[in-house]
Amino acid sequence: MVRPATMVLTGFGINCDYETQYAFFKAGSVARRVHVNDLIERPGLLAEYQILALPGGFSFGDDIASGKVLANKMRYRLGRALESFLEAGGLVIGICNGFQVLVRLGLLPDGRSGLGRQRVSLTYNDSGKFEDRWVHLEAENRMDCVFTRGIDRLELPVRHGEGKFVADTEETLEELERSGQVVLRYCTPGGGQPEYPENPNGSVNAVAGICDLTGRVFGLMPHPEAFLHRSQHPRWTRQKLVEQGQGMAIFRNAVAYFE
């Protein structure tokens, strides 16, 4: 069986690329780190891959706004290659800074139309500070998001200063809710409505992750690549945990899509 290939973007302050590459490797993918400049030099390289991953980090130092500079660079230098990749049935995941890039590219919430206008954003946390904590998440599977298939609950870490999900209008937010594109929400440990710090950034409707209308483009603020083994959990010595961390389910779903 040919294993699907994953391109993990790196360069310019992206700093979760090794962990993301490892996660896809553990999930059964042939995963390679590719510098953004190398992809710009050879846009056709993207056609050799089935999955594109935009990892977390601080691309371009979060200048202007988190993910904005990288999004513009990709829009004007890689726009056609990205649209062709999606038309060919590729998967895209953006984690934290990668999620910020996807919304500023316009690939989320509606990647079907290619690089559209920005309709949602991830802005400064209500707390006014960088949030580095573990959160509980509830998955909603009203539409067939490839990455969240079979997932009900997750516990993952967040690490961001600009993670508050907002929409440009109430109509956009209602559309996302109605279409089932909100696929991850912050929740309390018991699954209830969260307040701070369970909703660590003040996201509207506790939104932690969304997908496009095809279910193949997915962005989330928490870091699944940071929970691949039980020993990465802060309570691993005090709590009975299975060996495989909960974040692995997201990467396994992506790889299984091509099997």
The runs of H, that is alpha helices, within 108-237 are 170-179
Q: Which of 96, 145, 187, 211 is catalytic?
A: 96
Choosing from 136, 160, 223, 233, the catalytic residue is 223
Q: Is 225 a catalytic residue?
A: yes
Instruction: Please answer whether residues 224 and 158 qualify as being in contact, where contact means their C-beta atoms are separated by less than 8 angstroms.
Output: no
Q: Is 160 a catalytic residue?
A: no
For the sheet with 182-187, list strands across it. Answer: 30-35, 5-10, 51-54, 91-95, 217-220, 207-211, 182-187, 131-139, 153-160
What residues contact 57, with CB distance under 8 A and at least 6 apart?
A: 13, 14, 15, 16, 17, 96, 97
Strands 131-139 and 153-160: antiparallel
Catalytic residue among 155, 162, 225, 233: 225
β-strand 217-220 against 120-123: which pairing, if any?
Answer: unpaired
d(CA 130, CA 107): 26
State yes or no: is 16 an active-site residue: no
Which residues carry out catalysis? Answer: 96, 223, 225
